[in-house]
Amino acid sequence: QVQLVESGGGVVQPGRSLRLSCAASGFTFSSYAMHWVRQAPGKGLEWVALITYDGINKYFADSVKGRFTISRDNSKNTVYLQMNSLRAEDTAVYYCARDRVVFPTGALGYWGQGSLVTVSS
């Protein structure tokens, strides 16, 4: 079965960096686009980033553009979110998610359990 497991969260000071990982299993990872979505405490969902199946195309929300990067290693079935210049407002649970089907439609049928990132001095 499809499994997505995030790791790398924790407490970090403002201005510092952190890298999240999402290990995938149970499907042909190299065929699917992958997303990161976050949720601040007590708030709604916010889409963060998308990387296509081949890692060539990457898209970001305006709120993280220029600070966050997304990458993937298809040999390791893992997608990454590199977060630089972190701010207090980046504090959130970060989920990785996969589209239902190979052709991306934004229908995120599979989600990880989430990884909490807290930005605080």
Binding-site ranges for another protein (CB under 8 A): 35, 37, 44-47, 50, 57, 59, 61-63, 95, 100, 104-109, 111-114
Q: State in angstroms the smallest separation of the CB of 16 from another protein.
A: 26
For residues 45 and 88, which CB has a smaller minimum distance to another protein in the complex?
45
Q: State in angstroms the smallest separation of the CB of 76 from another protein.
A: 22
Up-side HSE of residue 28: CA atoms within 13 Å toward CB? 6
Q: State in angstroms the smallest separation of the CB of 107 from another protein.
A: 3
Secondary structure (3-state) at 90: helix
Q: What is the CA radius of gyration of the chain?
A: 13
For residues 80 and 95, which CB has a smaller minimum distance to another protein in the complex?
95
Q: State in angstroms the smallest separation of the CB of 26 from another protein.
A: 16
Residue with tokens 């589209």: 99
How many angstroms separate the CA atoms of 57 and 95, rounded? 20
Q: Are 95 and 37 in contact (CB under 8 A)?
A: yes
